[in-house]
Structure 1
Amino acid sequence: MSEERGRPGAFELLPWVPSVLGVLVMLGLLGFAVVNLRPSGGDLAATPAAPPPSSTPPFLAGPAEPEPPPNGGAATAQTPRPSPSPSPPTTTQAPPPPPLVGRFVVVDTFKDSFIGEVRVTNTSKTARGWTVRLRFGSSVGGLRTFWVERAPRPTLERSGDLLTFTSGAPIAAGKAAQLRFQLDRDGSGVKPSACSVNGSPCL
């Protein structure tokens, strides 16, 4: 009678049957998952295959996207610079005329001499004296006479072929004086090689 009491009865084991079955089912599912999720050959961390190349021909493809600006900066549109406006042409003003202006002319010619004239005009607003300097070429010879029309005779100084006439009276503002002289000549060249009034060239 004592041995029958030490063995558990069928009714005592019955509550454990569902638990044991549940454990067995979990073990079976776990083994199934391990078998199905295991990669077929190779390393577990296999490199994914590269996508197939595009079959679109290059000439049918759309425009290429612009490359991003360097250093990750945002692309900025370049504002066109305005073209510089042309500068107005510079006008060079002519220097004002000198107070006394001289002009050489030939009044008359003869066989072996001629009469020349330097007309001196006073363009200023005050009376001014004048000095006329003349030099001629080799075709012009000696000085015969000189005078100023309707004015005192000027003084003369010679230095080689340079003739210097100095006024005997000033010229009034806006008026002119006619210095005349008769010179010998040998040929047709009677134009002076140098002519000035108070340092300004004759016209």
Structure 2
Amino acid sequence: MSGMRRAPRLSHGPAAIVSSPWIVVGAGVLVMVVLLFMALGAYRGRSPAPDGAPVPPVLPLPTAAEVPSVPGPASSPPPVRPGLSGRASGLPPSASAGSRSPSGSASVRATGGGPVLTRSPSRAPQEPSAMTGRYRVVQSFDGGFIGEVAMTNRSGESRGWTVRLEFSGGRLVTAWVEGVPQGTLRQFGDGFTYVSGVDVRPGGSVSLRFHLERTSSTPRECTVDGVRCGGF
């Protein structure tokens, strides 16, 4: 029929793409989405480790103490000249610089064989007491006792003496010296002192006796010329 129109045929190839712009737009959008996902994947690969993930250990830097030291050449000793000897400049190597001698001060002197350490005593030893005394109970009875302080003169000359006794309360009845003239008795508080009437010859002995009531037979203090008695 000549009066009927034919429907247009769809074109293929580049002409079809140009004639359909939505295809181009869709392809461009798809490419952009792919590129965006690729960029996000690369960024996540560079992100720091999440919380709780193990952190690689950090190696410490070497310190000055750990750096090995290179030994240098040994210094040669100074030449020794004939006729000259070294002098000691301080303590010998065996003595420490801060050590002290308990008995006194120390000094160093140089000799031909080397330094010698000498010590000087800080004080002279104390001499023994000239008069020594020893306390004892001669007799005990109900309500009292008789005590004694026996003394010996250990010096080389005749000398007098003074005894001091102190008890916890009580009452002194009397005090006397055996076999020699009596001395002087003085009472105070809970005790008394007795001063000799005659001197004791070198190596001689003398005894002071006393009668006490209503107190313990052990004294709180017993001295002869300020030195503590023995025996209690």
Smaller-chain TM-score range?
Answer: 0.5 to 0.7
Partner of 2:148: 117
State the TM-score, normalized to the length of structure 2. Answer: 0.47
Residue number among 152, 165, 168 corresponding to 2:181 in the alignment: 152
- Name stretches of at least 5 consecutive residues in structure 1 with no aligned partner: 1-65
Partner of 1:184: 213
Partner of 2:157: 126
Say if 1:67 and 1:166 are closer, same or farther in 2 by CA, change over 3 A.
Answer: closer
Residue number among 94, 97, 100 corresponding to 1:84 in the alignment: 94
Deviating 4+ runs (over 2 angstroms): 66-69, 74-78, 85-96
Distance in 1 (CA, whole Å) between partners of 2:102 and 2:149 is 39
**How many equivalent residue pairs?**
127
Say if 1:168 and 1:67 are closer, same or farther in 2 by CA, change over 3 A.
Answer: closer
Residue number among 99, 103, 114 corresponding to 2:130 in the alignment: 99
Say if 1:135 and 1:88 are closer, same or farther in 2 by CA, change over 3 A.
Answer: closer
Aligned-residue CA RMSD in angstroms? Answer: 3.1
| Deviation string, structure 1 residues 126-182 (Cα, Å, up to 9, x no partner) | 1101111111013xx211222111111221111222301011111111111100001
**One-letter code aligned to 2:205:** A
Q: What aligned pairs does 1:24-103 form with structure 2 within 5 A after superposition?
A: 67=70, 69=72, 74-76=73-75, 84=94, 95-103=126-134
Partner of 1:175: 204
Partner of 1:202: 229
- Higher-Rg structure is 1
* Identity score, percent: 40
Distance in 1 (CA, whole Å) between partners of 2:71 and 2:198 is 91
- Name stretches of at least 5 consecutive residues in structure 2 with no aligned partner: 1-68, 78-91, 104-120
- Once the 2 structures are TM-superposed, how far is the Cα of residue 88 of structure 1 from its aligned partner? 10
